[in-house]
Every structure is written in structure tokens, then in C-alpha cells.
Structure 1
Amino acid sequence: MAAVEPGRAARRAVLWVPDWPVAAAVAEGLVDPQVPVAVHDNRGVVVASAPARAAGVRRGMRRRSAQQLCPELVLLPADPVRDARAFEPLVQAVETVVADVEVVRPGMVVFLARGPVRHVGSEEILAELLVGTVATETGAECQVGIGDGLLAAMLAARAGVLVPAGTTPAFLAGQDVAALTLAASTRQATAETAELVDLLRRLGLRTLGAFAALATGDVAARFGTHGLGAHRLARGLDVRPPVSRRPEDDVLAATELDPPAERSDVAAFAARSLAEQLAERMLRRGVVCARLQVAARTEDGTELVRTWSIDDAPTAAELTDRVRWQLEGWLSGRSGRPPSAPLTHLELEAQEVSPAGAVQDGLWGRSRRGEAQASRAALRVQGLLGAEGVLVPVLQGGRDPRAAARLVAWGDEAAPLRRTDAPWPGQVPAPWPATVPTEPVPARLVDAVGAEVRVDARGTTSGAPARVVVLPHAPTAAPGPVEPGEYPLLAWAGPWHGTERWWSGQGRRRAYVQVVPDGAPALLLALEQGAWRVEGVYD
């Protein structure tokens, strides 16, 4: 007799908005819905609108390739805060139909289907009611799917179907193993699942059915705890099997906001400290959670509550992200039902808590005291000046030193928008200057007879540079990296030139020259639109 499967997956419903990052940008008035739009991160295109896909733009494509296929393509950087802020009105619309809703990520919500189905009469009626309500109240087009277990419901939503009860294993069997990444809600879980998917494909297990056919013991021995959770998803079950013992108590962290917070950046300062407390308490107890509930109370006693799905052992940064996104949704003023008064109380609760398989400090122990003090000081400054008051430089790909660095707010993901290992034709050779002025300093580069040195389209100079003249700054400008004056040159190298975005009709041509003046540090000069500027100073 075949063994009985321990536990049964709950029947869940998922509401999904296709291309949500694009829809969020349209909702906030950043782009026209009729033009081709793509949202990108440091790896490439994340989401493309329907007009962009019709032109051949695909997810994962490099931005340069996408622009070559569609020159009129509008590129927007990925912004999780924008996505979450614009998603709050849609979640509020869903709550008019369903009481207990969990946000998996901006653009997707999940809830248990049994109660709402019993209330409205059938799954088909529930799906039609949700689609109609969202379209009427927010104007967004969504799809609803229902199935046994979270993964089946997610795939059903993407297909816009209702999977009959008991047929989930057959529905999942033919799906690609890459579908497992849909159920991951944190960066760590997404990275681990992507590695697992890559390994499964190299082993010849390309479908969920092939993965589900493996024996549980073999999966545990080869792929560990994370692999076991993915194996349960592939079989149409819940990630965590039911247990007979009493569940762990929820973990709570709360604080009073004094003075009350009316703006999201002020509330986010308290939320960050609160998230760190919650993460530390979970770490000490050795537990993980499946849900994060964010609750707030206003001056007039109104209660605001939202629940987010979250898996694995969330870090303080990942908890902070969810809370900050939610506060933006409540306090940004774009919600259909903003808070009636400033927030006076904020509370975070980790729900569906279970023992962690392996939760411990980093390999080199806890962060040092100085690092913790610096982090707290940065958070205090952000509380006074706002999130953009403390910025951190992040290196990224680019052709020149100015383009190869971007500034992100302290606590945000310090991820580059452009790959550092990608080829950059016309890139200024290493080493790059140690100092890059906030604003380029105007200068002149002249030859032995005093004529301005020019660079033609072939990269040939009009004459050998002999002197560099650093022009004086405006009285209101900050001090420059080199004193104004005229300096004879001891040596020079270059030029390196290139044209950017030549296919768009709005390209710009630049040429770079390295010079070693007598009496001043070595300089990196740039020629653009007929004018020379100091772009960097070498040590």
C-alpha cells in the first residue's frame, strides 16, 4: 500500500497583476501607458510592457539590446518603494471582498480560499468579483488563480485558471522547475532557489514532476532543508508540514511614535529600529516566520493592519523593506484611504513562527561595536533629515569615473544598476582618479601655439597638448580639487573617445585625455560639446 502523504495543502487563491512595476509607474504618472516601457535593474530588464514585448523586448535582456530593438523604449530603474506605494490602493480594494489578505510582493496577494468561496457561493464567482472590484476601484487589470498550495495557486493566477481540488500534482507535473522561484519572498530565498533550480537542470530534472518523483530521503540528503521545502512545493504541498506539537509563540516588537508621524520618512526611522529588534529577538529564539504583520494606530484611535508573506530567516534589512513599503503605501497620500490622523503607535509581529533549521551568527561573529554605533548614528541622521540625508556610494559599470558610482540611501540595497564585469567600449583605462569633483571644473587644453586642442570623430587631436588652464570657479561654487591657473604639461596620454546612445538620435560624444601638469596633480580631462572639463584628480 502506498504511503499516505503527511498533511494536505490548504486551498489558496492568488490575485496577480501582470507587469506590476510598469503598472505602478503608469499609476504614478511617470509614463504613458501607450508607449513601450521596460523596468530594469543592474542585471537587465526586469519587466517589459505589452508594447515593448511586441517590439521584441524580453525579461533578462540587456538594456542596450532592448534599446537597439526598440529605440523609443522608455527605461525606468526598478523601485520597490514605488511598486509597494502604488499597490496599497489595490490591496484595499481586495479587502472589500476578502477579509484576511497577505501581500506576497507588490503586484501579488494571497489568501485562503475556503471562507470567501463559502460566502460568495463558488470559486468562479469569487474570481469574477475580485477582477471586477479591482478594475472598478483602481483601473488595474488582474488575474485570479485558485489551487491546492501556494505554488499551484501562483501558477494558476499567471495562467488565469482555477485548478480543481485534487488535481494539483498533475497540474504542476509539466511545469518548469524555474517556477519554484515564484514562491520565494526574500532575496536570500530567491538566490538559494535559483541555485537549486540551476542544479536540478544540470541533473536533468527540468520539470516539477521529475523533481517531485524523487524520494524524500534522497532529496534531504542531497539538497538539505531548502531542497525539502522546494520538494514539497513541487508535490503540491505546503512548504512546512503540519506538526502535532504546540506552535511557537508569535514574536512582537512595538514602539510609541513621539511626536506622531505624518510622513513616511519620519515613521521609517522608528520602523528600522523596530525591525532590528524583531530580527534580533527571532535570532535569539532560533525561529523563523512565515508572516509579518505591520500594525499602526493613529491619534484618533484608527487601527491600520497589513500582513506580508515572508519566508526563511528574514534579516533586519528585509523586515525593514516590508515595513517601509507599507508605511509609504499608508502615508504617501496616494492611497484611496489614507490614515485619518498621524501615527502614534507602530507594531511588528512575526506570525506562524517555527524553529529554524540553522540560524546562527555570521562566520566571523556579530558585527563589531563600532559598526553598530555607526549604523545607529546614520539612522538618527536619517530621522532628522529624511532617508536621502545619508547616502552610500555604490560602484557600478560605466565608461568614466562619474558614471561608475551611484549614491543610495543608507539601509537600502546597495546594488549597482549596471554590471561591473560587462564590456565598456571606450572606457577610460585604469587606474581611475581618486577624486571626482561634485561638478566638473571648467578648463582649457591648448597646444604650443595657444590653439585649443580638438578631437575629431576618429580620435585624432588637432595638436599636441602643451598647457592646461584650470578656469576659476563661480563665487558660490564649492572649492575645486585643483587651484585655478595655467600649468605646462610634463606628459599626456589619450584621447579615448566614444559615442553613447548613437542609435537614439540623442547620443553624446566625449573624449578623455590624461595630463600631468607641472606644479599640480595629474588630471583627467573630458571634452564634450567643444568644452574641456576636469573630471578627476589622480593621487
Structure 2
Amino acid sequence: MLVLWCPDWPVVAAAATEAVSVTQPAAVFSANRVVACNAVARRGGVRRGMRRREAQSNCPELAVFTADDGRDARLFEAVARAVEGLVVGVEVVRPGLVAVPVAGAAGYFGGEHALVERLVDEVSAAAGVECQVGVAEGLFAATLAARRGEFVEPGRVAEFLATLPITELDQPGADRAELVDLLRRLGLRTLGAFADLPERDVANRFGTTGIFAHRLARGRSERPPLRRRPPPELTLTEEFDPVVERVDVAAFLAKNLATRFCTGLAGHGLACTRLGIYAVTEEGEHLGRVWRCADPLTPTGVADRVRWQFEGWLRAAPGRRPTSGVVRLRLEPEETVEGRSLQLDLWQNGGSEEEDERAARAFVRVQGLLGPEGVVTPLLDGGRDPAGRVRLVPWGDPREHTTPPDATWPGRLPAPSPATVLDRPVPAQVFDADGAAVGITAREQVTAPPAHLSIAGGGRRDVVGWAGPWPAVADRRRPGPQRARLQLLLAGVRDEPPEAVLVHCAGTENPLWTVEGVYD
């Protein structure tokens, strides 16, 4: 397999669209984080995953662009067309990366090195961009070889991969970040170290994702080849009347076509990993492109690739775009795998990957309107305070613990934790059986057993059970009033069941009580 890679393609495409010089540091952002940056920006301290504010602080002259898959695909069509002019069987892996079978073309041009020289010259002349080429057995190894500009001899793929860092498993679109992080924490720093593990142990510890990654680290294909030829009826052909001349119309139609296409495959227990998109225009022009994907395509993935391809066809430069609209579209599964590759997890409760992707896109859209803090997810962190343990993480940020949640944490409230933690504690008063106010002594004990609770100046409710107190501040050297927490079980009102609350007290004399949480 020969892979041609255009480094930092999202940045190259954005800079070309905005007429920004290639010598200026630039980065593409999605959800306020860097998804791609050029070499000049990296020298200035910009890295993938970095927040926009931090990136601009490190590199004040940084040109900022918004991620646009359609733009990337549209401009990359010129590169794919240039490669297709020399080699048959071009497969677009993603905008910025194409793969072609090398055997036949290498023999025609007089060897792999001669073929690579022609490809690099042709892409530079036709598209005006730089590229790197790698040759190896398998798409994964060939992609890593392209990033290093190397030719891996047949039979030496495992040797080539052995010294590479384990982070190479997390390629764009592979979604192996969690697996890679776990492997690094286990001390596996290279692909060779991971490949040396017995496959049975990998399957027991890391599941399906680990098995696929383990095969790649060993220099093998992610999945064994599927010898069964896709039935011809799985090809989906659609006629358009009126003709399709706009990308937004094509994108709208692609959603329904993608669902029908994937449903037909699923009916035969198959999923598509190489998708052929073929079109015929009103003037009889034939257009075609094959997209390769590492993971089986979902309906959303199919619709995205159809939209990207129409971007490349209908918005190409004058002279390269079709002279008329598209009247016929054919989706053909060039390569399939067994459908169990898309088996849902047991605990997804009927959810699907498509629904997860749709929700993620909606979250990112809301963040674009309200900012990164507009969409957050809760994470239970370490700490003593029930409210302080809950940390809100902006959508898209890594959900990593800042403090160990399972540490001892002297003074932490024992289980069970309150089901509801109030954003703003509500003022309250606690009384004993004689109606006197209850406080906390210097030794963090209650001055009298609590018998009644008044919340926000309301009527007194009987306390039928209580537990505590637990000191709210573990560091006794810290200045301030005595603080403690109690769990109170309140008698039900009328026919309501009893209610349990968490209350906090500050001060020995004139104690200040507040309700912090409610138990189910």
C-alpha cells in the first residue's frame, strides 16, 4: 500500500481559502481547541488539543481558522485528482490522506521510488501543496511510513513499528485515546512492547478495541480479510429530478440515502469500510471516488462522505467542475466486514453511535453560540465537601480527575452522599426538645440532640432521626468558627414520607445553620 499524506491539511486548506501566507503561524480550532496547526505554529508553542487562549498566548501572531470538513474535502479533490491521473484505484482515507495499491503502478513507472517522485511532482504542480509518501504493507503501517517518508520492505513491518511510540495508535478518527492513555500508564511505551503481549491476555483485559489495536501493533490488518463478495443488490442507486446542482441539496438527500444504504447492509449482517461514490451528470459526465474508513461506516459517516464528495465536485475550480447537475448517484460497498463490528454495547439501553454523534454535534453547535462553558458534564472528583467534589467539565475537554476521589480524605462526609446538592445553601435553624438553638462545641459535638428544624423561616419540622456531627474542616489549625455537618431525618408532612437532609453548622455561639443537600 502506498499512502500520500499532505501534512496539516486542515490548516493548508483554510489558509488557501483565506489567502494567508504559508509562512504565518496558523491553527484550526473546533470547540475552542486546536485540532490542527502548521509547523510555524508548533515552533511557537502551539499544540493539538490546546485551548485557544493558551495557543494565542504562546503565539500572539497566530492566524485562527474554524474547522470545516466540507472545505477540507473540496480543496483536497484537486490532490486526489492529481494522484488519480497517474495511479488507478485511488482511495481517500480522509481529506489530506490518500492510499493506492502500489504493485501495478510501481512496475509501470519503473519502481516504487520512480513512482513516488512522479506523484510528488504531479501533486505539487497540479495542487500546489507539499506532500510526503510512504510505502508499507497495510494502511496503518503505510500511514506511519508516510509521516516519516519511509519505504518499509515486505515482511519488515513489525520491525518498523516496534520502536514507534504507543501514541501512534490514536490516529484521527480512530478514537483510541483512552486505550493509549491506559497502555502508557501500564508502562507500555512503544508499539513493540504492546505487540509482545499475548493476544489472549489483550482480549481479556482490553476487549475488542484492544484486539484491533494489538493487530495493528503487530503489523497486521485491523481485521482479517472478508472473502465474501457483497451481494449486488446492496448497491444503492438514486435518480434525481430535478438535477442536483447545490451542495446543501446533496447533503439533505444524502441523509436518507445513507440510512437506506446502511440498513440494506445490516440486513445481510455486513458493514461497509470502503465506500464507492459514483455520479452521472445531465451531460453524461461520469464522476467517481472511493473512500476508505478504518472503522465500519455509520449512516452519519456515509452521509458526511457523500457531502464532502459533492463539495469537491460541485465547488471545484472552473474547468474542473461538472458542466451540469447530477442526475444519478450510486453508493457501492467496495469492501465490507461482518456486521458484529457495529454491535452495540449491552448497557447503551437502545442507544446508537449515530445518536451519540448527533448529540455531540449539537453540543458543539451550542458551544459555538454560548462559548465552551455553555455545555458541561459533571465529574465526581476528590474532596471533603459534597458540593466541592462535583466538577463541571466543558464538553470536549478531557474528563480527568484533578484529585484522587478514592483517597482517605479525613473529615469527608461518609456514605451515602446526598442525591441533590444545592447550588446555594438554604438558611435554617435547628432546635432541641426545649426549643433552644443547637450549636457545635469546641470539640465538634452538638450542644443538645436536635429535635426540630426550620428551613428558611418556615414552620418547625420534627427530627425523627439524626447522624453526626462530622467536622467540615479537617485542618484544625485553620482559623475560623467550628464547622460540622449532620444528617437529619425529618418527619413527613401529612401523607408524605419522611425526608432526609444534610445540614451544615458554623459557629459555637449564635450558630449559622444551612441546608446543603437532600437525600432520596
Q: TM-score range by the shorter chain?
A: 0.5 to 0.7
Partner residue of 1:348? Answer: 331
User: Does residue 295 of structure 2 align to residue 312 of structure 1?
Assistant: yes
Partner residue of 1:395? Answer: 366
Q: Can you list the C-alpha shifts for 1:55-106, whole angstroms capped at 9, x where unaligned?
A: 2222222211111111121111111111111100110011011111111110
Residue type at the aligned position of 2:228 = R
Q: Which of 338, 342, 349 pairs up with 1:364?
A: 349
Question: What SS is found at the alignment partner of 1:300?
Answer: coil
Q: Which of 42, 48, 53 pairs up with 2:31?
A: 42
**What is the CA distance between 1:121 and its match in structure 2?**
1.1
Q: Can you list the C-alpha shifts for 1:476-526, whole angstroms capped at 9, x where unaligned?
A: xxxxxxxxxxxxxxxxxxxxxxxxxxxxxxxxxxxxxxxxxxxxxxxxxxx
Question: What SS is found at the alignment partner of 1:118?
Answer: helix
Instruction: Label 1:73 to 1:242 Cα distance change in 2 as closer, same or farther (>3 A).
Output: closer
Q: Can you list the C-alpha shifts for 1:403-452, whole angstroms capped at 9, x where unaligned?
A: 8669xxxxxxxxx9986999xxxxxxx99xxxxxxxxxxxxxxxxxxxxx
**What is the CA distance between 1:248 and its match in structure 2?**
4.1
Q: Which runs of 5+ in 1 are unaligned?
A: 1-11, 376-390, 407-415, 423-429, 432-539
Q: Which of 97, 116, 122 pairs up with 2:111?
A: 122
User: Does residue 89 of structure 2 align to residue 100 of structure 1?
Assistant: yes
Partner residue of 1:210? Answer: 193
Partner residue of 1:165? Answer: 154
Partner residue of 2:240? Answer: 257
**What is the CA distance between 1:314 and its match in structure 2?**
2.1
> Which whole-Å CA distance do the structure 2 matches of 1:213 and 1:23 have between them?
38
Q: Can you list the C-alpha shifts for 1:216-238, whole angstroms capped at 9, x where unaligned?
A: 22222322333222222111111
Q: Which runs of 5+ in 2 are unaligned?
A: 376-393, 401-422, 425-520
- Where in structure 2 are the equivalents of 1:109-258 lying within 5 Å? 109-182=98-171, 185=173, 190-191=174-175, 193-242=176-225, 246-249=228-231, 251-258=234-241
**What is the CA distance between 1:125 and its match in structure 2?**
0.5
Instruction: Label 1:174 to 1:328 Cα distance change in 2 as closer, same or farther (>3 A).
Output: same
Q: Which of 279, 303, 306 pairs up with 1:323?
A: 306
**What is the CA distance between 1:30 and its match in structure 2?**
4.6
**What is the CA distance between 1:279 and its match in structure 2?**
1.8
> Which whole-Å CA distance do the structure 2 matches of 1:246 and 1:213 have between them?
31
**What is the CA distance between 1:165 and its match in structure 2?**
2.0
Flag the structure with larger Rg.
2
Residue type at the aligned position of 1:275 = A
Query: Is the contact made by 2:3 and 2:146 (CA closer than 8 Å) also made in structure 1?
Result: yes
Q: Can you list the C-alpha shifts for 1:256-296, whole angstroms capped at 9, x where unaligned?
A: 11100111112222222101111222233322222011111
Residue type at the aligned position of 2:237 = A
> Which whole-Å CA distance do the structure 1 matches of 2:365 and 2:154 have between them?
49
Instruction: Label 1:211 to 1:134 Cα distance change in 2 as closer, same or farther (>3 A).
Output: same
Q: Can you list the C-alpha shifts for 1:156-184, whole angstroms capped at 9, x where unaligned?
A: 110112112222111100011121222x6
Question: What SS is found at the alignment partner of 2:136?
Answer: strand
User: Does residue 17 of structure 2 align to residue 31 of structure 1?
Assistant: no
**What is the CA distance between 1:199 and its match in structure 2?**
2.0
Partner residue of 1:508? Answer: none
Instruction: Label 1:351 to 1:225 Cα distance change in 2 as closer, same or farther (>3 A).
Output: farther
Partner residue of 2:485? Answer: none
Q: Can you list the C-alpha shifts for 1:18-51, whole angstroms capped at 9, x where unaligned?
A: 1111110122235232321111122621222232
**What is the CA distance between 1:202 and its match in structure 2?**
2.1
Instruction: Label 1:335 to 1:254 Cα distance change in 2 as closer, same or farther (>3 A).
Output: farther
Query: Is the contact made by 1:225 and 1:357 (CA closer than 8 Å) also made in structure 2?
Result: no
Instruction: Label 1:126 to 1:324 Cα distance change in 2 as closer, same or farther (>3 A).
Output: same
Partner residue of 1:67? Answer: 56
> Which whole-Å CA distance do the structure 1 matches of 2:293 and 2:61 have between them?
38
- Where in structure 2 are the equivalents of 1:278-289 lying within 5 Å? 278-289=261-272
Query: Is the contact made by 1:88 and 1:335 (CA closer than 8 Å) also made in structure 2?
Result: no
> Which whole-Å CA distance do the structure 1 matches of 2:288 and 2:398 have between them?
41
Aligned length: 374
Q: Can you list the C-alpha shifts for 1:288-319, whole angstroms capped at 9, x where unaligned?
A: 22201111111122111101112333221111
Instruction: Label 1:336 to 1:54 Cα distance change in 2 as closer, same or farther (>3 A).
Output: farther
User: Does residue 258 of structure 2 align to residue 297 of structure 1?
Assistant: no
> Which whole-Å CA distance do the structure 1 matches of 2:246 and 2:153 have between them?
46
**Larger relative contact order, structure 1 or 2 (CA cutoff 8 Å, min sep 6):** 1
> Which whole-Å CA distance do the structure 1 matches of 2:342 and 2:56 have between them?
44
Query: Is the contact made by 1:330 and 1:339 (CA closer than 8 Å) also made in structure 2?
Result: yes
Q: Which of 41, 45, 49 pairs up with 1:56?
A: 45
Query: Is the contact made by 2:31 and 2:364 (CA closer than 8 Å) also made in structure 1?
Result: no
> Which whole-Å CA distance do the structure 1 matches of 2:199 and 2:304 have between them?
35
Residue type at the aligned position of 2:155 = G
Query: Is the contact made by 2:31 and 2:372 (CA closer than 8 Å) also made in structure 1?
Result: no
Query: Is the contact made by 2:27 and 2:36 (CA closer than 8 Å) also made in structure 1?
Result: yes
Residue type at the aligned position of 1:96 = G
> Which whole-Å CA distance do the structure 1 matches of 2:272 and 2:242 have between them?
31
Instruction: Label 1:403 to 1:175 Cα distance change in 2 as closer, same or farther (>3 A).
Output: closer
Query: Is the contact made by 1:38 and 1:75 (CA closer than 8 Å) also made in structure 2?
Result: yes
Tell me the TM-score normalized by structure 2.
Answer: 0.66
Residue type at the aligned position of 1:206 = R
> Which whole-Å CA distance do the structure 2 matches of 1:418 and 1:113 have between them?
38
Identity across aligned pairs (percent)? 47
Query: Is the contact made by 1:292 and 1:351 (CA closer than 8 Å) also made in structure 2?
Result: yes
Query: Is the contact made by 2:134 and 2:149 (CA closer than 8 Å) also made in structure 1?
Result: yes
